[in-house]
């Protein structure tokens, strides 16, 4: 065997590369196609594929070229590009080095997306009034996503880190490909039977085709009809899907979804501690206030000088007393006057005065005798005169 017939891969690749380089058509080519798997690298270069219904070519656009673009390339966008084809030696892949790019209308998927978005929007699927509140302290979180990959890992680790007392139930689902939409719908419906507080529906980043199940109408309707509050978390920050618009809340990434779904347990503990302090503080103030109130009563003038309560009454009593006295005095005077008058009158009528004038009073049996018939002969009578008494016997009664 002649070993010198064999060449190295590098030699072959360099040979092919040379062929590409020398082909004028390949060095100045105009292509049209749809962007897919678009990635803007941190170096500023764009990496993506261009495709049509039957073929696909890898593409790179260095930042020295792409910074001249007046638009940002997006997944599904139809573009016209100009550049050169060559081989990337480390992988042996041929690719187009894009130097110019312009939009070629709007990609079909993009049109489809806009159409469905408008339709569902008109039908009220995105209405705020239909959106449910996401529970603040869920006991059980459901996840409809692939059971492998970064997304599920991010969600579970984030929930466990923030709120380990929460239970996680995973509903493993296809999240890309033609069957994915049915699987997602089936799992959202299944979740209703598992007493879930909040459901996270989503997947990690990918091309627009990868994320497409989340732009399907039946998925949108399943999310809309679900009684459980749903957080959608599809792809990256820049990816918006129909699911995001229908869901009760959209999270930029799966990690963000987990952060929205559960509180940080430390924050909750702190909040509870704060409530504890506030309850105690306000209760203390309440009691203190009552003490002060009690003190103010104790120190009030009346309580300290209870006699004050009587003072007024005493004065009133004195006044009354005085009044009474004066009334009595006046009355007494009147009585005295009357009495004097009476005495005077009596004096005028005093029988003794009559005796003075020579009259006498006759008593029989110690009673004044004014009827001659009451006595008879030999009865003893007494006669009172002005200056003495006479006892005598009746000799004769005449009428």
Partner 1 sequence: MKFEDKIKELEKIVNDLESGNIDLDKAIDKYSKAMKLISECDKELKSVEEKISKIVKENGDLEDFDIEDK
- Positions touching partner 1 (CB under 8 A) are 135-137, 139, 147-149, 152-153, 156-157, 164-172, 187, 190, 193-194, 265, 268-269, 271-272, 275-276, 278-279, 282-283, 285-287, 289-290
Indicate the residue among 55 and 148 with the shorter CB distance to partner 1: 148
CA proximity to 156, closest of 226, 254, 281, 67: 254
Indicate the residue among 275 and 302 with the shorter CB distance to partner 1: 275
Concatenated DSSP letters of 133-177: PPPSS-SEEEEEE-SSSHHHHHHHHHHHHH-TTSEEEEEE---SS
Residue 86 makes CB contacts below 8 A (sequence gap 6+) with 17, 20, 21, 26, 94, 95, 97
CB of 290 to partner 1, least distance (A): 6
Indicate the residue among 149 and 205 with the shorter CB distance to partner 1: 149
CB of 193 to partner 1, least distance (A): 8
Indicate the residue among 271 and 308 with the shorter CB distance to partner 1: 271
For residue 361, count CB atoms less than 10 angstroms from its CB and return exposed for 0-12, middle for 13-18, buried for 19 or more.
middle
CB of 222 to partner 1, least distance (A): 16
**CA gyration radius, the chain:** 62
| Alpha carbons 219 and 11: distance in angstroms, whole number | 52
Structure tokens at 352: 């003794």
CB of 189 to partner 1, least distance (A): 12
**Alpha-carbon distance values, 233 to 142, 204, 219, 323 (Å):** 13, 8, 14, 98
Indicate the residue among 49 and 253 with the shorter CB distance to partner 1: 253
Q: Which secondary-structure segment (H or E) carries 42?
A: none
Indicate the residue among 95 and 253 with the shorter CB distance to partner 1: 253
CB of 278 to partner 1, least distance (A): 5
CB of 232 to partner 1, least distance (A): 19
CB of 225 to partner 1, least distance (A): 19
Indicate the residue among 117 and 203 with the shorter CB distance to partner 1: 203
DSSP state of 88: E
CB of 137 to partner 1, least distance (A): 4
CB of 214 to partner 1, least distance (A): 20
The answer to whether 96 and 83 have CB atoms below 8 angstroms apart is yes
CB of 115 to partner 1, least distance (A): 34
Residues of the chain by 3-state class (helix, strand, coil), percent to 5: 50, 20, 30
Indicate the residue among 159 and 251 with the shorter CB distance to partner 1: 159
Indicate the residue among 135 and 205 with the shorter CB distance to partner 1: 135
For residue 151, count CB atoms less than 10 angstroms from its CB and return exposed for 0-12, middle for 13-18, buried for 19 or more.
buried
| Alpha carbons 49 and 63: distance in angstroms, whole number | 16
Indicate the residue among 167 and 379 with the shorter CB distance to partner 1: 167
The answer to whether 231 and 134 have CB atoms below 8 angstroms apart is yes
Structure tokens at 330: 């006046």
Helix (H) and strand (E) counts for the chain? 14, 14
Structure tokens at 213: 């199940």
């Amino acid at each position: 065997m002649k070993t010198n017939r064999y060449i190295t891969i590098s030699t072959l690749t360099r040979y092919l590369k040379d062929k590409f380089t020398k082909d004028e058509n390949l060095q100045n080519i105009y292509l049209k196609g749809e962007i897919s798997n678009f990635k803007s690298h941190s170096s500023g270069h764009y990496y993506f594929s261009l495709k049509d219904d039957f073929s696909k070519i890898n593409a790179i656009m260095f930042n020295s070229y792409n910074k001249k673009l007046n638009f940002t390339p997006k997944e599904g966008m139809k573009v016209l590009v100009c550049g050169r084809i060559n081989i990337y030696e480390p992988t042996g892949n041929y690719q187009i080095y894009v130097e110019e790019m312009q939009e070629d209308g709007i990609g079909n998927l993009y049109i489809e997306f806009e159409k469905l978005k408008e339709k569902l929007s008109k039908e009220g699927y995105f209405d705020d009034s239909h959106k449910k509140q996401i529970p603040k302290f869920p006991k059980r979180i459901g996840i409809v996503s692939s059971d492998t990959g970064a997304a599920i890992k991010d969600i579970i680790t984030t929930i466990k880190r923030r709120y380990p007392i929460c239970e996680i139930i995973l509903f493993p689902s296809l999240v890309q490909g033609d069957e994915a939409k049915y699987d997602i719908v089936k799992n959202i419906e299944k979740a209703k039977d598992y007493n879930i507080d909040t459901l996270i529906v989503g997947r990690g980043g990918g091309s627009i085709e990868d994320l497409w199940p989340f732009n399907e109408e039946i998925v949108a309707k399943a999310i809309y009809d679900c009684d459980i509050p749903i957080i959608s978390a599809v792809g990256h920050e820049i990816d918006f899907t129909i699911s995001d618009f229908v869901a009760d809340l959209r999270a930029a990434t799966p990690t963000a979804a987990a952060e929205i779904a559960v509180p940080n347990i430390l924050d909750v503990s702190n909040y509870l501690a704060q409530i504890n302090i506030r309850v105690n503080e306000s209760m203390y103030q309440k009691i203190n206030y009552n003490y002060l109130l009690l003190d103010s009563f104790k120190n009030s003038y009346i309580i300290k000088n209870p006699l004050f309560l009587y003072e007024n009454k005493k004065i009133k009593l004195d006044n009354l007393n005085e009044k009474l006295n004066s009334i009595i005095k006046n009355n007494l005077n009147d009585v005295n006057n009357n009495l004097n008058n009476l005495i005077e009158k009596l004096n005028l009528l005093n029988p003794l005065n009559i005796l003075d004038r020579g009259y006498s009073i006759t008593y029989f049996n110690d009673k004044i005798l004014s009827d001659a018939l009451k006595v008879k002969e030999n009865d003893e009578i007494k006669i009172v005169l002005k200056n003495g008494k006479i006892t005598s016997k009746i000799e004769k009664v005449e009428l």
